[in-house]
Amino acid sequence: MKIENAEFARSGASASDLIDDGAPEVAFVGRSNVGKSSLLNRLLNSKLARTSSTPGRTQTVNYFRVNRKFWFVDLPGYGWAKASRTDRQRWAKVVESYLARDPSRRLLVQLVDARIGATPLDVQAAEYFGSLGIRRLVVATKADKLKRGERAAALAGIRAALALGEETDLLPVSAVSGEGMRELWKSITDFLAGQIPPEP
């Protein structure tokens, strides 16, 4: 997909801050420090999403308007142990409010670190996401860090741990090398094709 325009629109710290304008949304979610913001920047060929080596940097629901037609949504990472209990509860509440909205116009991209595999938190999150009826795909980030012989086993382990059916894509990606970006964009474009009316 050609990115003609991408811009940061809003950060939502509570349910009342969330955008609900009827446009399709592609939401990115994963464990803290899994590389969500880096992946977003690579997909958009920009530095709109703020990156950091410090886990838990994304603390709000961040909206990016793409081509003035749909949203990329960067959700707070889960599992950052150093965050206060109050902060973790607040993040969970706003994410739950976001996910509770109309599932038919959302695609959820769950990120899992390919080097580590699916953690118990990833499994718990996947079970929760699966109960919501939201279309979902899983990407294995930092795939460039794996040796060729390690990759197949890593992907098989993630698929088994998350109990992914054949209908759920599992894509190895790298925000550094660009690996998997074309395949990820294809999955996103296929979702959007059923959401955005064709131009006359």
- What values do phi and psi take at 47, rounded to 5? -125, 40
Element (H, E) at 73: strand 70-74
- The per-residue pLDDT string of the chain (200 residues; one tens digit each, 9 = 90 and over) reads 888 899 999 998 888 999 989 999 999 999 988 989 899 999 998 877 665 444 445 578 999 999 999 999 999 888 655 556 666 677 678 888 999 888 889 999 999 999 999 999 999 999 999 898 899 999 999 999 999 889 999 999 999 999 998 888 899 999 999 999 999 999 999 999 988 766 65
Domain 6-193 classified CATH 2.60.120.10?
no
Distance CA 139, CA 168 (A): 10
62 vs 72, 124, 141, 167, 182, CA distance in Å?
Answer: 8, 23, 20, 28, 23
Q: Beta-carbon neighbour count of residue 138 at 10 Å? A: 23
